[in-house]
Structure 1
């Protein structure tokens, strides 16, 4: 059973995708962004990198929101993909997968427009069969699973479960136990709480787990 650890500010990850939502300000996502080995920016997100000392290794997207200065400065690493069947985040994830970069941390994926936030979080379910992707925000971590998993936690940590498919879910280590329940709406398994230093979730359908910082 796979275990998902909590991210830390001292953690160094291989690949980060910076999306064009709210630029991170909390120490954990900001440190992960600053210290990653390989940084892919969704095109317009590049405009916010002046807030760090980091430079992108690749810029991916339809290039509709990239500033002219950055278009010139980073011309050699821009990968412009004009098709509109996918958003810039998915273009960036596909770019990584094609280069065998399959452990991906996504920051800047939430905030600003709510429809973009919901779409980006739900896309974790599309990515999980080909790579291991997580979204880290200023407030917590989103991960998608479709099989039993264990999650590192802290006692009292707030936990929410979003059942995308109608599937049976069982939990261990949460304040409000769930046993072989099927949920009809996203809100129904939210606002739970960890009672241990780890908890487990048994599911066979697409399920998104949120752990708050």
Structure 2
């Protein structure tokens, strides 16, 4: 497995850290992880590993600040190694929440309300859909986004706008439903229209402007936009 360089996160007082990177035990893009860490090297953020993701981080010589979960997936030798290196281990055995949600709950409790999640998807589509449900549950309580090799995924319930690149794909989904949607800068604009799972989707739209604007009157939207490695 390709190894990444071991990058140091600037050590600041814990109460000053309000950002974190949660690494889940799904598909972890090694190049994406490397780019993210390099771009944020020297900044104050905490790496939080969700249980089995620790096995990958150990192989890549990346030390998290915390390991959280029921610890049923982390290899014993990896756990021992991280304990010996001073990583804080938070074993939470209750099964009402999955490891991602345990990490989010812990992050918020520590005042880390700017959350990026890597490894949220993988071979288990049920896990991925469940994680989107968790995103919906927490996006009003904190700033949270999922990222993979190409896309950034987040939710909105009010007007938003962002810079984009002409010709690039963007997908918009009611989650489960949104009404009164108005968009600007898209090839297939929405003009006071609705999107709803099982009725009408908004996947594979395309930008025709350098600025995208999306507003809605009611409901919630799940947005998939390319991140262009800007973190």
* Range into which the TM-score falls when normalised by the shorter chain: 0.7 to 0.9
Q: Structure 1 residue 200 and structure 2 residue 213: aligned?
A: yes
- Stretches of structure 2 lacking an aligned partner (at least 5 in a row): 1-9, 11-17
1:30 aligns with 2:34: yes
CA distance in 1, matches of 2:34, 2:120: 13
State how far apart, in whole Å, the 2-side matches of 1:15 and 1:180 are: 36
TM, length-normalised to structure 2 = 0.80
1:5 aligned partner: none
Which residue is equivalent to 2:195?
Answer: 183
Whether the 8 Å contact between 2:178 and 2:196 is mirrored in structure 1 is no
CA RMSD of aligned residues (A): 2.0
Greater Rg, structure 1 or structure 2? 2
Question: What is the alpha-carbon distance in structure 2 between the residues aligned to residue 211 and residue 79 of structure 1?
Answer: 33
| Count of residues paired in the alignment | 201
Deviation at 1:183, TM superposition (A): 2.1
Q: How does 1:102-181 map to 2 (within 5 A)?
A: 102-168=113-179, 169-181=181-193
SS of aligned partner of 1:206 = strand
5+ residue gaps, structure 1, are 1-11
CA distance in 1, matches of 2:173, 2:150: 17
State the TM-score, normalizing by the size of structure 1. Answer: 0.87
Q: Distance in 2 between matches of 1:103 and 1:40?
A: 13
Kindly report which structure 2 residues correspond to 1:88-103, keeping only aligned pairs within 5 A, or say none.
88-103=99-114
1:55 pairs with one of 46, 54, 63: 63
Determine whether 1:20 maps to 2:25: yes
Give the 3 Å change call, closer, same or farther, for CA 33–87 of structure 1 in structure 2: farther
Q: CA deviation digits over 1:21-48, x for unaligned, max 9?
A: 0111344x43214546310000100000
